[in-house]
Structure 1
Amino acid sequence: MKRWLTFAWIAALRFLSEGRMQTGFILGGIAIGVGVIVFMSAMLTSVQTNFTNRVLTSQPQISLQPPDEVARPLRQKDEVIEAAIVQRPTQRVLSLDQWQTILARMRARTDVLIATPSVSGSALAVRGDASRSVGILGMEPDDYFRIVRLPDYIVSGEASLGTDDILVGLDLANDLGATVGDKLNLATGNGGNRILTIRGIFDLGNKGVNERNTYVQLRTAQSLLNLIGGVTDIALTVTDVYAAETVAKDIGAILPVKAESWIVTNAQFFTAIRAQTLSSLLIRSFVGLSVAFGIAAVLIVSVLQRSKDIGILRAMGSSRGQILRIFLIQGGVLGFVGSLVGCALGAAALLAWHRYARQPNGAELFPLIVQPSLFVWSAVLATLTGVIAGIVPALRAARLDPVEAIRG
């Protein structure tokens, strides 16, 4: 195999093999550093993907609602304001104006995947002596469940809805002492009243949501909230979830609606994600720097130890470029081999963590996402880091004067 290698490669590999102990130590350090980077990157990706999927499967990506009602000051003919203080009016439950036309336009957009109408309002849920204030959301299950994947969170019963059925959260069911098949009496502030049967109980992983949210058929909510033929929201999903705010602003600019994206309604979530990403990036950067300085330190020591060998090579006719390449190759080989071992360590740590880190009921904490590209990029970056770290030692070796190096 050596006959296929250049002089620089042969000399670099010879230098590495002769200093087995220091080579082994630096390979171990590189492997640990790369393993930490692989483990943290995969964990961060898994956590963020799990959180994002949780958010996106429990609410629409964009919600279109009627504009807020605004109080206008009274003016006399001479343009003098009659009322000096204008208070914000209470927001009534209103239907979207010409919602059928808006719905058709949304379904015609190329950047919108699903558009479906819904009606939302508040009511009082009563069962026996127990009562709770709840939020009613009426929708068309076939379309709405493609946006909010409520069937995936059903813990009891089923997600099918008839005109006299209702889906309630786990905490609300516990507060009312209700189970699947029990009756709930829903009463609204405008006089609506309906007795509904609990068809299913869901758990969205949020106590506040589980205590308040209820789901019924669209016509049932329209009847309860006295909005026959009207809708209060149009729920949308878009082709690019991270462009939802841009799409919402565009819709709000051309239509008389209030368009809110999931990015705005979950601002704190994005703040936490950005903070988590930044902290992880800083940790990985410091680990990478420690690996680079470790490689540089080993190569500098190697230059000092082999100054006579370098002088002899220069005296025998080796060029400065060949000496330079010897130590750059050493840095690249250390980075590449260390990255391979580090990727294996990182993968083993991820599998061990996923196997033993469990919820109290034995279920996984969240799905582990490991992308093959993570290992490829880790190997490439570690190799480049090794080459870059070897630049200073390589330049120092190439500048050695042969006579002075041999004299020692």
Structure 2
Amino acid sequence: MNPFLPFEWVLATRFLREGLLQTLFIIAGVALGVSVIVFMSALLAGLQGSIFKTLLDFQAQIVIKAPDEAPRSLRQEPDTEYATRVQPGAQRPRSLDQWQKVRDTTLAMPGVLVVTPVIEDTAFIVRGDASIGVGLRGIEPESYLRLIALQEKIIAGRADPGSTDVLIGRDLAKDLGLVIGDKLTLQAAKGASVVLFVAGIFDFGNQGQNKSAVYVALRTAQSLLGLPGGVTRLWVKVAAPFDAEITAQQIATQPGIQVESWIETNAEFFKALSGQTLSFFIIRLFVGLTAALGIASVLVVSVVQKSKEIGILRATGTTRRQILGVFLLQGAMLGLLGSLLGSLLGWGFLIAWRGFAVNAEGVPFFTLEAGPMLYLYVALGATTVGVLSALFPAQRAARLDPAVAIRG
């Protein structure tokens, strides 16, 4: 016996070596469970991160706009009964009142990084006999490109439109046969039109954006829509996107504005995402329970097999606490060794996935990231599960009566 090692450690490792086949099987089982947890955790984080990035590539985290126009009935004469039915009319593009003041006040709030003015409305692209409805977006490139990843999505040309420029999506350019430098006519719903030149073609990886969104300079949109000096939206970027709803409520305390966060706008998506997260949690929970039952069953068998040895140890002065420590230590060792091997397997699965799940261009569908903290948490979790799994067998071993155990 090594005099430098605790008694419990020496005895625990001896018991594990004597039942080597059982030990290897349970370590392999724990390792497989841990590898599944590592892979699924990285998969969930990568998938959700990719979805969030895709959404926020072309969507504001917070949108400030003018309140919707509410219908009002005509003033009624006293003592006169009317049978009236007031219907809301279609919303028209309206400038946000004192938008510069709202922008400056919002930008001064903690956590707000960028506030950019935007004009949004519908328009038509006219080219030859073709007339296609599009979503017009007038932008101020200096601030807008700090909020939306338009610069990264440009596949031809540039991302900062001038007064006679327009940016269009890849699919729209393909449908209309447009390339950089071609001209088209952009016509507003009220009939005003302007001739613009294609200065950039973008690809957001989203068919809806690539087919229907066009970008022009803010002043061009103001002139086309008859909104001199006005904007219809203020787009906001915050430091913590998942706290956008809290920031939106703070912004909404300003009078005469309506505020929406991307969390509110994508409420159904977040519900689906919560269901996905819950499903992954349940799967990981059952994997952990399976590993726990495996460790517990092996240690229960070990207690039965080693009952005579335990009885002799107790008869020669080994305390209940030491016997308890031996089996708890075995559980911790099984959990830790299984987590180390499982982390290595999980890392291998992630490497294999990165080489397998790629598109035709060889680019991964989304990035799987498993940082050091994930492996640390998994190792701590598996070790804790091992200790908890060993608790019942350890208590059973500690309670054995020496005389009864020795008699068999």
- With structure 2 as the length reference, what TM-score do the two structures score? 0.97
Q: Secondary structure at the match of 1:87?
A: coil
Structure 2: runs of 5 or more not aligned: none
* Structure 1 equivalent of residue 268 of structure 2: 268
Secondary structure (helix, strand or coil) at the match of 2:252 reads helix
Provide the rounded CA distance (Å) in 1 between the counterparts of 2:117 and 2:404.
85
Deviations 1:128-170 (A, max 9, x none): 1222001111111010011111011112222131110000011
Whole-Å Cα distance in 2 between the matches of residues 79 and 396 of structure 1? 89
Would the alpha carbon gap of residues 306 and 202 (structure 1) be closer, same or farther in structure 2, given more than 3 Å must change?
Answer: same
Which residue type is aligned with residue 377 of structure 2? Answer: W
* 1:132 corresponds to: 132
Deviations 1:39-61 (A, max 9, x none): 10011111111111111221111
Q: Is 1:122–1:133's contact at 8 Å kept on the other side of the alignment?
A: yes
The answer to whether the 8 Å contact 1:139/1:218 transfers is yes
Return the alpha-carbon distance in structure 2 between the equivalents of residues 274 and 162 of structure 1.
Answer: 43
Q: Distance in 2 between matches of 1:195 and 1:85?
A: 43
Give the match's secondary structure for 1:254: coil
More moved, 312-321 vs 104-113: 104-113
**Counterpart contact for 1:73–1:81, Cα < 8 Å:** no
The more displaced of 256-265 and 244-253 is 244-253
Alignment of 1:151-166 (within 5 A): 151-166=151-166
> Is the contact made by 1:32 and 1:342 (CA closer than 8 Å) also made in structure 2?
yes
Q: Distance in 1 between matches of 2:225 and 2:2?
A: 84
Separation in 1, partners of 2:274, 2:104:
36
Counterpart of 1:88, as a letter, is: P
* CA distance in structure 2 between the aligned counterparts of 1:364 and 1:244, rounded to whole angstroms: 29
1:352-380 deviations in Å (ceiling 9; x for gaps): 11012211221111122121100000000
Q: Determine the structure 2 residue equivalent to 1:257.
A: 257
Following superposition, the deviation at residue 79 of structure 1 comes to 7.3
Q: What is the correspondence of 1:34-53 to structure 2 with a 5 Å cutoff?
A: 34-53=34-53
Q: Does 1:123 align with 2:126?
A: no
Mapped to 2, the partners of 1:59 and 1:356 lie a distance apart of 30
Is the 2:170–2:210 Cα contact (8 Å) retained in structure 1?
yes
Moved more, 248-257 or 57-66: 248-257
Residue 87 of structure 2 aligns with which residue? 87
**Shift of the alpha carbon at 1:249?**
2.0
Q: Which amino acid aligns with 1:72?
A: R
Q: Secondary structure at the match of 1:76?
A: coil
Residues 108, 79 of structure 1: alpha-carbon distance in 2 compared, 3 angstrom cutoff: farther
| SS across alignment from 1:370 | coil
Residue of structure 2 equivalent to 1:12: 12
| Structure 1 residues 286 and 116, CA gap change in structure 2 (3 angstroms) | same
Q: Can you list the C-alpha shifts for 1:53-76, whole angstroms capped at 9, x where unaligned?
A: 111221111111110000112342
**1:286 Cα deviation (Å)?**
0.2
Give the secondary-structure state (helix, strand or coil) at the position aligned to 2:89. Answer: coil
Match of 1:60 in 2: 60
Structure 1 length-normalised TM:
0.97
Other-structure match for 2:373: 373
CA displacement at 1:81 relative to structure 2: 6.5
Distance in 1, matches of 2:351 and 2:196, equals 47
Show CA shifts across 1:300-355 (max 9, x none): 00000000000110111111111111100000000011100000000011011101
Q: % of aligned pairs identical?
A: 49
CA distance in structure 2 between the aligned counterparts of 1:85 and 1:2, rounded to whole angstroms: 93
Q: What is the aligned partner in structure 1 of residue 311 from structure 2? A: 311
Q: Is the 8 A contact 1:73 1:82 kept in 2?
A: no
Correspondence 1:76 to 2:71: no
Would you say the 8 A contact 2:118–2:231 is kept in 1? yes
1:395 aligned to 2:391? no
SS in 2 for 1:246: helix
> Which shifted more, 358-367 or 9-18?
358-367
Q: Distance in 1 between matches of 2:43 and 2:79?
A: 63
SS in 1 for 2:58: coil
User: Which residue pairs with 1:340 in the alignment?
Assistant: 340
TM-superposition CA deviations, 1:371-396 (whole Å, max 9, x none): 11000000000000000000000011
Q: Which letter does structure 2 place at the counterpart of 1:351?
A: I
Q: Counterpart amino acid of 2:342?
A: G
Question: Structure 2: how far apart are the matches of 1:79 and 1:314?
Answer: 101
Stretches of structure 1 lacking an aligned partner (at least 5 in a row):
none
**CA pair 367-80 structure 1, distance change in 2 beyond 3 A:** farther
Secondary structure at the counterpart of residue 200 of structure 2? strand
Contact (CA 8 Å) 1:248, 1:260: kept in 2 or not? Answer: yes
Q: Distance in 2 between matches of 1:81 and 1:391?
A: 81
1:309–1:370: structure 2 CA closer, same or farther, 3 Å change rule? same
How many residues were matched structurally?
408
Where do 4+ consecutive residues of structure 1 move more than 3 Å? 79-83
CA RMSD of aligned residues (A): 1.3
More displaced, 304-313 or 206-215? 206-215
Partner of 2:223: 223
Letter of the structure 1 residue corresponding to residue 304 of structure 2:
L
Contact 2:57 2:204 in 1 (8 A): no
Tell me the equivalent position of 2:278. Answer: 278
Cα distance change on mapping 1:174 and 1:313 into 2, 3 Å: same
Classify 1:251/1:81 alpha carbon distance in 2 versus 1 (closer, same or farther; 3 Å): farther
Moved more, 206-215 or 20-29: 206-215
1:103 equivalenced with 2:103 (yes/no): yes
Amino acid at match of 2:132: R
